[in-house]
Structure 1
Amino acid sequence: MSRPPVSESAAEAARTGPAPSLWRNRDFTLLWSGQCLSDLGGAMVELALPLLVLQQTGSPARAGLVGTAGLVTTLVCRLPAGVLADRFDRRRLMIVCDLLRLAVYALLGWAVLTDAAGVPLIVAVVVAGAAATAVFSTAEHASVRSLVRPDQLTSAVARNEARTYGVTLAGPPLGGLLFGIGRALPFLGNALSFLLSLAAVCCIRRPLQQARPQAGPGAGGSAAQGLRFLLGHPFLRALLVIAAPLNMAFTGMIFAMTLALRRAGVSPFLVGLAGTIFALGGLLGAFAAPALQRRLRLPVLITLLCWTTAVLMAVGALLSSTVLAAVPLAAAVFLGPTANAALFAHQAAVTPDHLQGRVVSAVLLAAGSAAALAPALAGALLARWSPAPAMLVFPLLVTVAAVTATFSKGIRSMSV
């Protein structure tokens, strides 16, 4: 039986022995730092955009339309982004995406300064930025395998999780502060973040993919090839069944708990504090993920995390009318990065480099689609039932993931 091609990171691991700290990995640190800045800019704009539309039009519906346009664009672009990440040079692809995002958000900042930022322009900027971000993030996910050693994949994914939760904490307050000082500042700041990300990507020395010696199939055949590999691999099939309900449950629980607390008369300050607790739980969980992964075999770790999350969410649902509900839910969020780090690191390890983009994009599409439906589901449930029974639907979804983790041959096959 022929052996799969060995990635540069695997060859390096064989040559150099014990792994140095990821902080000493120049190329990974450049990519990670650049994305910290661009993610921070995106989190600022995520708050500032609806504020801008609301201020200009007075219409909450139009403000919501802007957010929906970006979300729908991201979902539509996921599969094509995977094909692009596998067919073209990933570094050049990320450079083009950063240039596009830099241009459109600089244009929006200038338009806000000159009072020329109408809703059509805002929607166009959001759509262009979301499409570029979908391509960039897919290429970035696919590139990590080429930048770190195989035994550091879990730590690398966990560090990316920490980045996500960190900007969730810092971005919205900073965006609100800058918007209060000057309406154009969050958008110009976002453009600056893409400029810095562009500089970081340009400074990466190592190739972000293996050589592509032969021309691949057309776009349609290329996407189908990735889906066939995904659906034909026992672990990757299990990953789909686990990631989608987990993402829907976390998004739905947090959204439903926010509504339930407000309906119970809890002050906006305490509701916001609950959101901060959730983000802190995820940030701390991301830092703890590598240590947890080292202490437990991966199949045991994933199964334990899924069942524990289901129980914690059920407790949170029963406490849904008080701020105390934030405690078990924050504990569940704490476990999320560990599950993501283990699952996505194993995905990167078992997927050939030339299929990384397509497999990652398909998994992210499934998880993102489920999360996008969660607020609507939460709202419909709360409209029909009281908070506790309505929110118990979400731990039931996690139970689907837990049962899959318990009995799936793909999960049991995960390496120690």
Structure 2
Amino acid sequence: MRPTTEDAVPATGTEPSPNLWRNRAFNLLWTSQCLSDLGSAMANLALPLLVLQMTGSPTRAGLVGTTGLLAGMVCRLPAGIVADRFDRRRLMVVCDALRIVAFAVLGVAVLADAASLAMVLVLVVVNAAANAVFSTAEHAAVRNLVRPGQLSDAVARNEARSYGTQLAGPQLGGLLFGLGRSLPFLGNALSYLLSLAALLAIREPMQEPRDKAVAGPSGRAAGAEGVRFVLGNPFLRALLLIAAPLNMAFTGMLFAIIVSLQRSGTSSYLVGLASTIFAVGGLLGALAAPSLQRRLRLPTLILVLSWATAVLMAGSALLSTSVLAAVPLAAAVFLGPTANAALFGYQAAITPDHLQGRVFSVIILAATSAAALAPVLAGLLLDRVSSTAALMVFALIVGIAAVTATFSSGIRSMSTGT
């Protein structure tokens, strides 16, 4: 599918974009979500720690994370339908209100020593569902808050927000949990309250006017519309075949490196440093994304990212028992935010407003669902082969994706504009 409007042009990164820092509405949303994401990162670290203290069972602590991932995946496609069917601002307000109540209740329960595993699991499901709806509605709303030339830069800013909060949130969450077990959860409730206040301060519309003719079908038919749009675009269709193994490999590599370091007797501090190095690579990449995407077209970015990642992951595999293994992996993730910014800028530009939520949900679900299997695959490999061989498997997976990208007619279709 070829972009036919002026909106699609800037998303390819070929023209300079206006100054996004002067956009009041987007900056309100972005700042509020920085605080919200920071609170989420704190709570995500504190939740398994709380369950471990309550039950003494690592398995039950792991159940919390698995429940959240599964709930998020189940809710992803319905979230796209809801974000396209209802008012996006109201949806985000409702999601924030639910999360404020949920984490405030848990925080008070922890203070009163009345928290239970069942309460935590219910909170995790509610939070995952609210996160899926909120993030989808937020992404769908961005096109209505920024100028066409700001789309890719806006996505890049969101990428930087994500990596930045990943760096600071867990450390802050661990500190607060040590001071008082309820503090990370009450702090997260406060972050959602600030998010809610910022949302209410945004006056600009977050979607185009709706009527019954544009709204289209509901239920399964509505979800199918988003799937058809993605599969009907040769570039997006080809990209899913590449994004899924890339995301799976990054998740599996990071997990395998951490386990390998632990098995080799590396100190906990250095094991944590490996994750920090990885996050720093993503943050630096997100900060460089606006400049890089104006110099490289999206198809070129995908090819460079795929081949560079395959080579760098192979380098990480050779350093599997050293914290230095995280350095090539951080270098590999450096181009990821640029590719994401250009991709979702392109997607937002070519997708009709009434399909934004569903198309985004389809892409995210297809691109990330395989990543849920990565820790299991990494664990099985580490039980049967050496650390170096296990990590090489993920490098090979990315190598196959790179070959697919190189010969894909769908990727070439964007380069030629067909």
C-alpha deviations, 1:371-407, integer Å up to 9, x for none? 1111111101111110111111112222233223322
Residue in 2 that maps onto 1:131: 129
Q: How much has 1:18 moved relative to structure 2?
A: 7.5
Q: Is the 8 A contact 2:16 2:294 kept in 1?
A: no
Residue in 2 that maps onto 1:322: 322
Q: How much has 1:6 moved relative to structure 2?
A: 7.8
Residue in 2 that maps onto 1:303: 303
Q: Is the 8 A contact 2:68 2:125 kept in 1?
A: yes
Residue in 2 that maps onto 1:395: 395
What RMSD over aligned residues (CA atoms) do the two structures have, in Å?
A: 2.0
Q: Is the 8 A contact 1:274 1:326 kept in 2?
A: yes
- The number of aligned residues is 408
Task: Name the CA distance, whole Å, in 1 between partners of 2:6 and 2:407.
Answer: 31
What is the letter of the counterpart of residue 262 of structure 2?
R
Q: How much has 1:140 moved relative to structure 2?
A: 1.0
- Equivalent runs, 1:230-249 vs 2, <5 Å: 230-249=230-249
Q: Is the 8 A contact 1:239 1:343 kept in 2?
A: no
**Cα gap change, 1:255/1:79 in structure 2, threshold over 3 Å: closer, same or farther?**
same
Q: Is the 8 A contact 1:110 1:184 kept in 2?
A: yes
Q: How much has 1:151 moved relative to structure 2?
A: 2.1
- Equivalent runs, 1:177-326 vs 2, <5 Å: 177-213=175-211, 214=213, 215-326=215-326
What is the letter of the counterpart of residue 286 of structure 1?
A
Task: Name the CA distance, whole Å, in 2 between partners of 1:185 and 1:86.
Answer: 36
Task: Name the CA distance, whole Å, in 1 between partners of 2:17 and 2:162.
Answer: 25
Q: Is the 8 A contact 1:51 1:63 kept in 2?
A: yes
Q: Is the 8 A contact 1:73 1:127 kept in 2?
A: yes
Residue in 2 that maps onto 1:21: 19
Q: How much has 1:246 moved relative to structure 2?
A: 1.2
Task: Name the CA distance, whole Å, in 1 between partners of 2:340 and 2:6.
Answer: 24
Determine if the alignment matches structure 1 residue 108 to structure 2 residue 102. no
Q: How much has 1:362 moved relative to structure 2?
A: 1.1
Task: Name the CA distance, whole Å, in 2 between partners of 1:149 and 1:407.
Answer: 34
Residue in 2 that maps onto 1:153: 151
- Equivalent runs, 1:20-169 vs 2, <5 Å: 20-169=18-167
**Cα gap change, 1:238/1:49 in structure 2, threshold over 3 Å: closer, same or farther?**
same
C-alpha deviations, 1:185-214, integer Å up to 9, x for none? 100000001111111111112211112222
Residue in 1 that maps onto 2:12: none
Deviates more, 1:332-341 or 1:94-103: 332-341
What is the letter of the counterpart of residue 358 of structure 1?
R
Could you list the runs of 4 or more consecutive aligned residues of structure 1 that deviate by over 6 angstroms after TM superposition? 3-7
What is the letter of the counterpart of residue 77 of structure 2?
L
Q: Is the 8 A contact 1:299 1:413 kept in 2?
A: no
C-alpha deviations, 1:107-147, integer Å up to 9, x for none? 11111111111111111111111111111011111111222
Q: How much has 1:297 moved relative to structure 2?
A: 2.5
SS of equivalent to 1:295: coil
Q: How much has 1:305 moved relative to structure 2?
A: 1.5
SS of equivalent to 2:335: helix
Q: How much has 1:370 moved relative to structure 2?
A: 1.4
**Cα gap change, 1:206/1:162 in structure 2, threshold over 3 Å: closer, same or farther?**
same
Task: Name the CA distance, whole Å, in 1 between partners of 2:232 and 2:57.
Answer: 47
Q: Is the 8 A contact 1:309 1:335 kept in 2?
A: no
**Cα gap change, 1:20/1:233 in structure 2, threshold over 3 Å: closer, same or farther?**
closer
C-alpha deviations, 1:301-321, integer Å up to 9, x for none? 221121111110111112112
Task: Name the CA distance, whole Å, in 1 between partners of 2:181 and 2:281.
Answer: 31
C-alpha deviations, 1:211-248, integer Å up to 9, x for none? 22224212111001111111111111122112211111
Task: Name the CA distance, whole Å, in 2 between partners of 1:323 and 1:118.
Answer: 37
Q: How much has 1:367 moved relative to structure 2?
A: 2.4
Residue in 2 that maps onto 1:341: 341
Q: How much has 1:261 moved relative to structure 2?
A: 1.3
Task: Name the CA distance, whole Å, in 2 between partners of 1:404 and 1:352.
Answer: 29
Q: How much has 1:19 moved relative to structure 2?
A: 4.6
Gaps of 5+ in 2: 10-14
Task: Name the CA distance, whole Å, in 1 between partners of 2:363 and 2:336.
Answer: 16
**Cα gap change, 1:104/1:349 in structure 2, threshold over 3 Å: closer, same or farther?**
same
Task: Name the CA distance, whole Å, in 1 between partners of 2:412 and 2:132.
Answer: 31
TM-score for the superposition, normalised by structure 1: 0.94
SS of equivalent to 2:294: helix
